[in-house]
Amino acid sequence: MSGELVEDGSGVRLYWADVGPLSAREEAQIRQMMSAEEVRRCQRYRHEPSRRCCLVTRRLLRQTLSELGERRPAHWIFGTEEQGRPYLKNPTKKLEKMDFNLAHSQSRVVLAVAFGRRVGVDLESVHRRVDHDLVAEKFFDVREIQALEQLEDPRRRRRFLELWVLKEAWMKADGRGMGAGLRKVVFRFDEEGRPRLVALPDDEVDRWTVGLRKQGDHLLAIVHRRADGEEGVQMSR
């Protein structure tokens, strides 16, 4: 497990863990810190890499919260919001104003932790293959589509993934799911390739900070909504 402070003055921290083979002993140790529902959820995965990813995700979350909140990993209790976004039901005093969000690929898990603000994180392999045109038509603003059409492959494919992880991270921070309207969540890139949030369905863009980086063979997007009274900063790579 590794971690770092996001360099945008927000205090947001990222923690990550690689998903690899687990010994029987490691799996047993992870299950001991999980709730019965979490164990059942991981056991539902028939695909072995997905099951391992589920276990590593729960370990990363519980152990990180224990380091921050001084409680044993098995003692944390989680709930879900209406659209399925997880939250901590029994925070210690240190974690009363904490928010968190998780993202994963087949090989890596990322946890974002923030205090006094909503946070969302998304992670995608740069090698992921999707029908770019179909997804863009459904979820992208016309300005984003026009900007994509001006790029040649493979830059176009990369920019599509950059937009997608940013939109996913915003949606996860917002917490309303697809119903929030991803078409109305609009990003623009400057000449140096830095993303900016330029439109939202029902909020001020200046209240949000966005960041995008390449981490190994993954794209990582971090989005958070600042607390009242703070000035917003659109984070660079």
* pLDDT tens-place string over residues 8-61: 778 899 999 999 999 999 999 999 999 999 999 999 999 999 999 999 999 999
Query: Structural domain tally of the chain?
Result: 2
The residue among 82, 116, 150 that closes a domain is 116
Q: Mean pLDDT over all residues of the chain?
A: 91
Half-sphere exposure of 86 (CA within 13 A, CB side): 17
**What is the mean predicted confidence (pLDDT) over 213-230?**
86
pLDDT of residue 180: 83
Q: What does DSSP say about strands 218-225 and 118-125: parallel, antiparallel, or unpaired?
A: antiparallel
With a cut of 70, say whether residue 169 has pLDDT above it: yes
CA distance 185 to 68: 33
Give yes or no: residues 208 and 177 share one domain.
yes
- Would the pLDDT of 234 be above 90? no
Q: Which residue has the tokens 């459904």?
A: 138
Helix, strand or coil, per DSSP, at residue 137: helix
* Residues 80, 46 share a domain: yes
Region of 193 on the Ramachandran plot (φ > 0 left; ψ -120 to 50 alpha; else beta): left
Closest C-alpha among 21, 56, 24, 25 to residue 38: 56
Residue 235's pLDDT band, with cuts at 50, 70 and 90, is: very low
CA dist 82 and 179 (Å) reads 12
Is 84 within the bounds of a domain?
Answer: yes
> If you ran DSSP here, which 8-state letter would residue 219 be given?
E
| 230 part of a folded domain | no
Q: Can you give the pLDDT at residue 227?
A: 73
> How far is the CA of 182 from the CAs of 36, 73, 176, in angstroms?
34, 35, 11
Rounded to two decimals, the pTM is: 0.92
- Confidence category of residue 233, pLDDT binned at 50, 70, 90: very low
Same domain, 6 and 58: yes
Identify the helix (H) or strand (E) that includes residue 25: helix 24-33
Residue located via tokens 């946890």: 111
Residues 147 and 198 in one domain: yes
Check which CATH number belongs to the domain holding 90 and give it: 3.90.470.20
